[in-house]
Amino acid sequence: MTEVLETVTAVPTAEESWWRQAAVYQIYPRSFADSNGDGMGDLPGITSRIPYLKQLGVDAVWLSPFYPSALADGGYDVDDYRDVDPRLGTLDDFAEMAAALHVAGLRLIVDVVPNHTSDRHEWFKEALASPKGSAARERYIFRDGTGPDGAQAPADWESIFGGPAWTRTADGQWYLHSFASEQPDLNWHNPEVRADFLETLRFWSDRGVDGFRIDVAHGLAKDLGDTLPSLAELETLAKDDGNHPLWDRDEVHEIYAEWRTVFNSYTPARTAVAEAWVAASRRAKYASAEGLGQAFNFDLLEADFDAAQFKDIITFNLALATESGSSTTWVFSNHDVVRHATRYGLPARNGNATKQGADWLLSGGTAPVLDAELGLRRARAATLLELALPGSAYLYQGEELGLHEVAGIPAEQRQDPAFFRNPGIDIGRDGCRVPLPWSRGGSSHGFGTGGSHLPQPDWFADSSVEAEDGAAGSTLELYRDALALRASLQSGEELEWIDGSRPDMLAFRRPNGWTSVTNFGTEPAELPAGEVLIASAPLEGGLLPGATTVWLRS
């Protein structure tokens, strides 16, 4: 315990507002670096790569779940919220990693998954072993079935991964799972559930965690009443008035107000960011200082590579952030969507990133035809624009290498429940979760000595850290240079648009004369006056080519 407390004191206590304009690097722990050769990334693997993260120039890392789990949903099915999966390490490994990150000046954010546990969690095992109506079942959402003998589900709802949202237990009752059947939804009306999560937040805060990413933050409060609506009825209900029985109910903010008292009992206050897929008008509440403090905005991730869409989204979200007193967040890639280098090389789909690239993946990567070069060129331009924006930028491991989505993973090697629950319709998210290539060759491209739990394609060699490190013009060097410049240029949170005559161009100025200009089109463009600091692709005869961003000091 003494050691843990020392770690906490070692947390860099700079300003409380470190998160407002942070560059946060998302690590999917099982696919980052494998220290013990079992084919699965682990916490000592992360610790060993801290020099890489430091050199990259990010401010913080966010770890997707590393808790004990059967991996029915890549770790978002948690068996025990206050431990480390033995395949990923131990609590001591966690302490070592947290301390090393802090020594390197990097903050640590961990994922909290409060909407559901796994079906192997002690509580769920106890619920199944206990009778109907017992206190153990009250921690979850159990109901009797309908029809003769209750053999039909309480309602015909579908889970988010496809297939039914209710599963029958051995004694005939049914439980709700908004995601896979291995992820039973918790009953947040139960005070024991509430108290236990406060304990979890303290547990990790005491171990030096600086912030939390809250999974499905809009799903906790539910009001099912005695009569359940049908799926058709559910679909007609408004989702933006706080009264939907399942999503984004107003009462959810009472939970986060309690969490806020825990966050604020630490110095510096612990931070949180909500993963809340809610109407934009409802996002500010999650992001308020009385609540979680920040909320993801996935709008750019859902947009096409298009100047008008980008401008509207940026303007809108900056205004929204001002309303909540928070700062906004920008995301192009994460562990749930097709990587942006690939999305931008496929025909525009106008929205819904989870669908963008889906046809291509389902075809095994053959149709529609991917323009890999154009996709990467646009991704680099988009990222350079993103890093010039006020607010936090959340970067997903591997995007700094310009990685594309991996297509053609054989069915027998796939892991994502979305694939298994939606045969032939959803190929799942494994293609962005393939272990990182650290070296051109060697076992699993340097990921570890024991192979890789998802197959790596041959083209990983040329996109590996080894191939890109020090290589002029590589995506890795672009990210390093851009992050270093961002750190030196960033001051206030203001953004001023610079009017131009071309609708396919976007230019804006930040404090200190820092100007970002993006050409979303194909025709080269004149640049405003100023010293060129960095460009996502070489300028051509002093002009800004298509699909390119440049930063200027003017």
269-288 footprint of ligand NOJ as x/- string (CB under 6 A): ------x-------------
Answer for which of 59, 73, 399, 468 binds ligand NOJ (CB under 6 A) is: 73
CA nearest neighbour of 516 among 480, 482, 541, 549 = 549
DSSP string, 218-285: TSS-----SSPPPHHHHHHS-SSSS--SSSS-TTHHHHHHHHHHHHHTSSSPPEEEE-----HHHHHH
DSSP string, 151-214: -B-SS--B-TTSSBSEEE-TTS-EEE-SS-TTSPBB-TTSHHHHHHHHHHHHHHHHTT--EEEE
Comparing CB distances to ligand NOJ, the nearer of 121 and 510 is 121
CA nearest neighbour of 263 among 282, 291, 237, 288 = 291
Comparing CB distances to ligand NOJ, the nearer of 88 and 478 is 88
CB of 68 to ligand NOJ, least distance (A): 15
Answer for which of 179, 188, 204, 479 binds ligand NOJ (CB under 6 A) is: 179
Determine the Cα–Cα distance for residues 475 and 494; give it in Å rounded to an integer.
28
Comparing CB distances to ligand NOJ, the nearer of 112 and 478 is 112
Sheet of 271-274, strand order? 293-295, 271-274, 211-214, 107-112, 60-63, 23-27, 392-396, 329-331
CA nearest neighbour of 512 among 539, 534, 530, 537 = 530
224-263 footprint of ligand NOJ as x/- string (CB under 6 A): ----------------------------------------
Contacts of ligand NOJ in 420-459 (CB under 6 A): none
Answer for which of 72, 216, 307, 434 binds ligand NOJ (CB under 6 A) is: 216
CA nearest neighbour of 97 among 135, 131, 53 = 53
Comparing CB distances to ligand NOJ, the nearer of 302 and 468 is 302
Comparing CB distances to ligand NOJ, the nearer of 78 and 385 is 78
**Does position 113 bind ligand NOJ by CB under 6 A?**
yes
Determine the Cα–Cα distance for residues 19 and 11; give it in Å rounded to an integer.
14
CB of 330 to ligand NOJ, least distance (A): 17
**Does position 336 bind ligand NOJ by CB under 6 A?**
yes
- Which residue number is nearest to ligand NOJ in terms of Cβ? 76
CB of 200 to ligand NOJ, least distance (A): 15
Measure the N-to-C terminal CA separation of the chain; round to a whole number of Å.
Answer: 53
Comparing CB distances to ligand NOJ, the nearer of 273 and 525 is 273
Sheet of 166-168, strand order? 142-143, 174-176, 166-168
Measured CA distances, 293 to 105, 210, 217 (Å): 22, 13, 12
Determine the Cα–Cα distance for residues 350 and 368; give it in Å rounded to an integer.
16
Determine the Cα–Cα distance for residues 256 and 22; give it in Å rounded to an integer.
22
> Which residues are identified as catalytic?
215, 275
Report the alpha-carbon angle 310-314-318, nearest 5: 175
Comparing CB distances to ligand NOJ, the nearer of 173 and 178 is 178
CB of 102 to ligand NOJ, least distance (A): 26
Cis peptide before 164 (omega within 30 of 0): no
CB of 67 to ligand NOJ, least distance (A): 12
Tokens of 56: 């990259």
CB of 419 to ligand NOJ, least distance (A): 12
Comparing CB distances to ligand NOJ, the nearer of 173 and 187 is 187
**Does position 215 bind ligand NOJ by CB under 6 A?**
yes
Q: Which amino acid is at 395?
A: L
Comparing CB distances to ligand NOJ, the nearer of 334 and 463 is 334
Q: What is the phi/psi pair of residue 273, to 5°?
A: -130, 130
Determine the Cα–Cα distance for residues 37 and 413; give it in Å rounded to an integer.
19
Tokens of 159: 């889970």
CB of 275 to ligand NOJ, least distance (A): 6
Determine the Cα–Cα distance for residues 493 and 203; give it in Å rounded to an integer.
33
Site size with ligand NOJ, rule: CB under 6 A: 9
CB of 115 to ligand NOJ, least distance (A): 7
**Does position 76 bind ligand NOJ by CB under 6 A?**
yes
CB of 179 to ligand NOJ, least distance (A): 5
Q: Which residues bind ligand NOJ (CB under 6 A)?
A: 73, 76, 113, 179, 215-216, 275, 335-336
